[in-house]
Amino acid sequence: MRGLLLALVLTASVAAAQWSRPVEEMRSTGGLAPHVVGQFRAPAGFQQAPTGDYYVFDRRSHSVHRVTAGGEAKQIVRIGPEDGRLLGASAFHMAPDGRFVVADAPEGRERVQIFESDGTRIGGFRLPGRAAPRITLGDLVLTGIASLQFTGRAVVMSQPELGGLLTEFSIAGHPFRTFGVFRRTGHEADRDVHLALNSGLPLVNPRGGYYFVFQAGVPVFRKYDANGQLVFERHIQGREIDGLIAALPTTWARRSIGRGRTVPIVPPTVRTAAVDPDGYLWIALTVPYVYVYDPDGEKVRTLRLRGAGVLQPASLSFASRSRLLATPGCYEFTVR
Report pLDDT for 153.
94
Report pLDDT for 130.
65
Report pLDDT for 254.
87
How many Å apart are CA 147 and CA 167, to the nearest integer?
11
**Contact in structure between 95 and 103 (CB atoms under 8 Å):** no
pLDDT-derived band at 13, boundaries 50, 70, 90: very low
Q: Which amino acid is at 190?
A: D
The overall average pLDDT reported for the chain is: 90
pLDDT-derived band at 139, boundaries 50, 70, 90: low
**In whole angstroms, how large is the CA radius of gyration of the chain?**
20
SS3 3: helix
SS3 177: strand
Report pLDDT for 305.
98
Q: Which residues are CB-neighbours of 176 under 8 A, at least 6 positions away?
A: 154, 168, 169, 170
The pLDDT tens digits for 212-227 are 999 999 999 999 999 9
Q: Looking at residue 260, what DSSP letter applies?
A: T
Label the pairing between strands 63-67 and 73-77: antiparallel
Report pLDDT for 109.
87
Q: Which residues are CB-neighbours of 169 under 8 A, at least 6 positions away?
A: 112, 125, 154, 155, 156, 157, 175, 176
- Proportion of the chain above pLDDT 70, given as a percent: 90
Report pLDDT for 132.
64
Report pLDDT for 42.
94
Statement: the pTM of the whole predicted model exceeds 0.75: yes
How many Å apart are CA 149 and CA 155, to the nearest integer?
6
